[in-house]
Amino acid sequence: MTRNEIRELAAFQADQSKGACALSFYFQPDPPQDRSHRREAIVAKDVVKQALKSAAAQGKNGSLHADLDRVLELATNLRGNVRGRAVFACSAQAFWREYELPPHLGSTHIYIEPRFQLKPLAALLGAQPALSVAMVDRQRARIFDLRLHDLRERAAIVHMLSRSASSYGYNGYEAGHAERRVAEEALQHFKAVAERLRIDLEKGLWERLIVGCHDSNWPEFEPHLHPYVKQRLIGRFSADVASVSNEEIRDHAGAILEPWIRERASTKVNEALDLAKSNSRGVTGLRRVLQALETGAVQSLFLSENYSARAVECTHCGHLDAHLVQFCVACGNSTRELADVCDAIIPIAIRRDIELFYLRENDGLDRAGNIAALLRFRSDQTSGQVAAAS
Ligand SMILES: [Zn+2]
């Protein structure tokens, strides 16, 4: 799943005047030890049937019914699936997207709302960097993009080495000469791979790097990495380029990435909370976070795992307000109440590439109102509002 695909979902709005709804379906597979029970597909079918019933009760038939029927058919065939699945549908506007996801979605659930429900997705991928995985040995390199579970090969580099001295039966001077030639070829290969990584970084093709190579190759390869590339390296695993499977690459990279994201979340949230106290590049609490979002100042957003709050949204200009006012303070038009402000915040964060962190059990964040943000700049330098509020 790419960022553009997520942005497309975040930008989608069902035309309610024509009775259209945005349907989001999340499928959570059973844990492997329960696989034999095959409960998951039954749960999924029940969830969809329930949604069909309540849609019929509310007189929402037509296109929504068609979407639900199609999801029901899909749910029926999900038995034994090991991955999560998400479907976003609105046949009234000819929209249907299906994605495979890692199996950590929480629960199988269906949402029928004006916008697609992106919270489970945001919790999974909000803080995921554009990750590059480079598999390297002395004569080959394969460079992959990994987005959630989606592994795609972006480049393959091959510099076949000359045959080694021993395979010619050389000895003495000639053997030494041949070994030196092979070493020189490997050196040039490592340089070329390192250079390719640097160029792709500059093009914005990746943000963080994981390297997979034999332990014996790492000291040969590492010195050639550009300092900027090295700064973005988050880990390395040992694997054989020629024989490693995509599944193994995903597993190795995931084992490095997940703790890295957790660590980064806790470092960054502490930074935001500290900076909020010193009244600089951090804000806490819904009201100030919403203000910072509107000024475009937010770089990273932190939410407690089950955070939810009521707010209003202007039906005309989209202004969000933590005070449940009837008329928009920005333009005077009427507002509508949001049962959960996250339904409006998450699409904004996705559209603007704001790093989104969900934190489980963080005392500092809990005390700060369960929501905080790290800013790119002090928004009060232009408006004066944030300073006045704190
Ligand atoms: Zn307004």
Residue type present at position 110: I
Going from the Cα of 8 to the center of ligand 1, the distance in angstroms, rounded, reads 24
Kindly report the number of other CB atoms within 10 A of residue 128's CB atom. Answer: 18
3-state per-residue secondary structure call for 133-161: EEEECCCEEEEEEEECCEEEEEEEEECCC
Going from the Cα of 228 to the center of ligand 1, the distance in angstroms, rounded, reads 43
Q: What are phi and psi of 53, to 5 degrees?
A: -60, -50
Q: Is 108 left (phi over 0), alpha (psi -120 to 50) or beta?
A: beta
208-212 vs 233-237, strand pairing mode = parallel
Going from the Cα of 386 to the center of ligand 1, the distance in angstroms, rounded, reads 20
Q: Map tokens 């490592």 to a residue.
A: 190
Going from the Cα of 330 to the center of ligand 1, the distance in angstroms, rounded, reads 5
Asked whether the beta carbons of 368 and 287 are under 8 A apart, the reply is no
Q: At what angle do helices 342-351 and 286-294 cross, to 10 degrees?
A: 30
Residue 60 burial (C-beta neighbours within 10 Å; 0-12, 13-18, 19+)? middle
Asked whether the beta carbons of 121 and 86 are under 8 A apart, the reply is yes
Going from the Cα of 187 to the center of ligand 1, the distance in angstroms, rounded, reads 61
Q: What is the pTM of this model?
A: 0.75
Cα gap 100→102, rounded to integer Å: 7
Distance of CA 70 to the CA centre of its chain: 27
Predicted confidence at residue 284, as pLDDT, reads: 96
Asked whether the beta carbons of 154 and 144 are under 8 A apart, the reply is yes
Going from the Cα of 90 to the center of ligand 1, the distance in angstroms, rounded, reads 27
DSSP H/E element including 88: strand 84-90
Going from the Cα of 354 to the center of ligand 1, the distance in angstroms, rounded, reads 23
Going from the Cα of 348 to the center of ligand 1, the distance in angstroms, rounded, reads 16
Going from the Cα of 43 to the center of ligand 1, the distance in angstroms, rounded, reads 42
- Identify the three-state secondary structure at position 132: strand
Among 89, 85, 9, which Cα is nearest to 43's?
85
pLDDT in tens for each of the 390 residues of the chain? 777 788 889 889 888 777 788 999 998 877 666 655 567 777 788 888 888 888 777 776 677 888 888 888 888 787 667 778 899 999 888 999 998 887 776 778 899 888 899 888 887 777 788 899 999 999 999 999 998 778 899 999 988 887 665 555 556 667 778 888 888 999 999 999 999 999 999 999 999 999 999 999 999 999 999 999 999 999 999 999 989 999 999 999 999 998 999 899 999 999 999 999 987 899 999 999 999 999 999 999 999 988 999 999 998 998 999 999 999 999 999 999 998 999 889 888 888 889 899 888 889 999 999 999 999 977 554 444 444 333
Among 336, 318, 316, which Cα is nearest to 326's?
336
Cα gap 102→148, rounded to integer Å: 7
Going from the Cα of 313 to the center of ligand 1, the distance in angstroms, rounded, reads 8
Buried b (16+ CB within 10 A) or exposed e, 92-104: beebeeebbbebe
Going from the Cα of 199 to the center of ligand 1, the distance in angstroms, rounded, reads 44
Going from the Cα of 295 to the center of ligand 1, the distance in angstroms, rounded, reads 15
Going from the Cα of 87 to the center of ligand 1, the distance in angstroms, rounded, reads 32
Buried b (16+ CB within 10 A) or exposed e, 255-285: ebbeebbeebbbebbeebbebbeeeebbbbb
Cα gap 294→267, rounded to integer Å: 25
Going from the Cα of 335 to the center of ligand 1, the distance in angstroms, rounded, reads 7
Going from the Cα of 194 to the center of ligand 1, the distance in angstroms, rounded, reads 51
Predicted confidence at residue 121, as pLDDT, reads: 83
Cα gap 19→62, rounded to integer Å: 9
Going from the Cα of 12 to the center of ligand 1, the distance in angstroms, rounded, reads 20
Cα gap 103→98, rounded to integer Å: 15
Going from the Cα of 353 to the center of ligand 1, the distance in angstroms, rounded, reads 24
Going from the Cα of 312 to the center of ligand 1, the distance in angstroms, rounded, reads 10
Cα gap 321→319, rounded to integer Å: 7
Going from the Cα of 316 to the center of ligand 1, the distance in angstroms, rounded, reads 5
Predicted confidence at residue 389, as pLDDT, reads: 36
Radius of gyration of the chain (CA): 26
Predicted confidence at residue 57, as pLDDT, reads: 76
